[in-house]
Chain A
Amino acid sequence: MNNDSINLKVGQCAATTYSVPVGPVHPALKEPIRFTFNLDGERIVGVDIKPGFAHRGIEYMGMRRNLIQALYLSERICGICSISHPLAFTQAVENAAGIEVPPRAQYIRTIIGELERVHSHLLWAGVGAHELGFDTLLHLTWNVREKSMDLLEELTGNRVDYAIPIFSGVRRDVPAEKAHLAYEALDYYKGLLQQMIDAFLHDKSVEMRTRNVGALSYDLAVDLCAVGPTARASGVKKDVRQDMPYLAYADMEVKAITPEDFGTEPHGDVYDNIIVRLLEVKQSIEIIEFCLENLPSGELMSIPKVPALLATLKKASGEGLGRHEAPRGEVIHYVRLEEGIEEPAVWKVKAPTYSNLMAWVPKFLGDEIADVPIIAASIDPCMCCMDRVHMVDTVGNETTRMKEELVRLSREKTRRICG
C-alpha cells in the first residue's frame, strides 16, 4: 500500500461509497474521538480522524503553577499512564536543573513504571477481547489485572495516581518488609502467563478475528514514526529502554520485543499487537524482579526538604528533555526553566498516541467495517494524553447508536466466522 492510496478527505469518494461517522462517544474505550469512514460495501476505503475532545490545556495550566504543582498535574494528563508522564517530566526538570537522583530512587521509579506497564497491557488485552465479543476473556483479564492494582496500592498507597516521583527522587520507599508482596504478585503472574498466552494466542476465534486485520507494514511503521508496541508489532525494534537507557534500565539489558520473540514473522496486525503486549508483561515482571534483587541502599531524595527543592528549582535555568517508554510507546517531556520564576517557562508534552495516530489510517484501509472496534483499540489509544489542541464535531444520538451498531457487527462477525 503506498501513501497515495491513503484518502484523508471526506467527500472525495466515488458515488458508490458512503460515509459512516463513528463517535465521539465510544462506550468501550471510554474516551471521545471521532472517525468518519468512507465505505465501499463493507470495505473501508477512506478514514478521517478527528481528535481533540478531551483537550484541557494542561501545558498552559502547568506554565502557571510552580513545578511541584505541575508535577501533580502531569500525573493527571492520563490516569492509565499516571507514572509515565511524571517519570518523563521529572527527568526533563532534573536535566534542566542539573539535579542528581539517588540510585535507590531510580530503581523504585523503574519498579512502579513497570508495574504500570503490567496493569496497562492487561487492561488493553481485556478491552481488545471485549471489542471482539469475548466478554469472558475481558472479565478474566481484568480480574487478573487487579493483582497488580493491589500491589501498586500496597507500595504507593493508591490504585491510580501514585505520586511516587518527585524532583530529585521518590516520595516513598519500597521497604524490605513489603518485598515479599511484590514477589508473591510476580509469581502469580508467572504462573498465569502461559494461560494468558493460550487464551489469547492459541484461541482459534481470536486468531481468525485478529490475524491480518489492521496490518501495518514495517516500512509504514517506520515512515509514520509509530512508537511502542504498535511499532514493535510491525517488527521495528525500537524501545527507549533499549535505545537510550535511563533510570535502572541502564543497569540491565532491555531488548525490544517483536513477534519474532514468539517465533513468528511480524505482520503488524492486531494478533501481533497481542503477542507483543503479552510478552512485554513477562519482560516487565523480569525487570521488576531484577530491580527488587538489586535494589541499592541509600537515600530517596537528593534534596529531601520541599522548600529547599523549590528554592533550587527557582534558581535553575536551562532546557531539559525527559523520555520514557510508556506502555503505549515513547513519551517525551520538554521543559525550559528560567531563573527567578517558580513555573516552567515552557512545558511541552508529546504522548505516544499522538505518534501512533497516523498509523491508524493504513491499519483501517482495506479492512471491514466490523473490524473497526478492534483496529481502533489495537494501538491502545489514549485521547486524554494526546489531545493537545484540536477541534470538535457533534455528538448526536445517531453517532452514539452507530457505535453500538459497530460492536454488534463486530460480534456477529466473530459468530459467523466461528460457525
Chain B
Amino acid sequence: MALPRSFKRALWVFHVATGSCNGCDIEIVAALTPRYDVERFGIMLTGTPRHADVLLITGPVTKPMLPRLKRIYEQTPDPKAVIVVGGCGSTSGVFYESYNVVGPIDEVIPVDVYVPGCPSRPEAIIDGVVKAVAKLETLEKSGVGG
C-alpha cells in the first residue's frame, strides 16, 4: 500500500469499546500522550462519531453493544475507515464460547484495518491509523462521500 506523502488534513478518531478488557484502550491513550504523541500529526480523539473520519474499535462485540456499534457506524459520515485494535476485536481472541459475546467486529460492520496484539502496542496502533489514512485518500479520490 502506497503511503501518502503528507496528510491532507487532521484525522479525527472516535473510540468505541464494545466489550474490551481496557488493555488496548489504555494503549490508545498512551499513543495520544507525549511518548508517542500522535496529536503532532493532527490525529485526535473526538467525542462523537458524527465528527469522525476513523472509528477505532476495541473488544469483541457483546450482545448489548451490538445495536450500538451498528448505529455508531451508521452515524459516522463517509468517507470513513474502521480500525480494529487488538486480538479480541479481530478474532474474538480469548473471548469465545460465551453467552454474551457475539463475535469479532467484522461480523457486525466492515473493517478496513486490523491491528494485532493483545494488547496492541502503541506503535502498532499508529501504524494502523497510517494505513487508514491511505484507505481514506483512496476513497476520496474515487469520490465516496464527496
Contacts and interface: CB of A to CB of B under 8 A. Distances in A.
Interface string A81-123: 0100000000000000000000000000000000000000001
Given A54-B20, A54-B62, A76 B47 contact: no
A139 B34 CA distance: 6
Interface string A31-71: 11000000000000000000011111110110010000000
Contacts of A79: 20-26, 119
A60 to B, nearest CB: 6
Nearest to A53: B64
Contacts of A396: 71
Contacts of B100: 55-57
Given A31-B22, A79-B26, A159-B121, A25 B34 contact: no
A52 B97 contact: no
Interface string B3-25: 00000000000011101111111
Contact of B99 (A60, A72, A80, A138): A60
A297 interface: no
Nearest to B25: A30
Interface string B84-111: 0000100001111111110000000000
A79 B89 CA distance: 14
Contacts of A139: 33-34
A384 interface: yes
Interface stretch (A142-150, A233-241, A319-327, A355-363): A142-150
19 contacts: A25-B72, A27-B47, A30-B26, A55-B19, A61-B96, A61-B98, A76-B93, A82-B23, A142-B33, A143-B35, A146-B30, A159-B121, A160-B119, A384-B19, A384-B22, A392-B65, A395-B71, A397-B49, A407-B47
Interface of A: 24-25, 27, 30-32, 52-58, 60-61, 64, 72-73, 76-80, 82, 123, 126, 138-140, 142-143, 146, 149, 159-161, 382, 384, 391-392, 394-397, 400-401, 403-404, 407
Interface of B: 15-17, 19-30, 33-35, 45-50, 59-60, 62, 64-65, 68, 71-72, 75, 88, 93-101, 118-119, 121
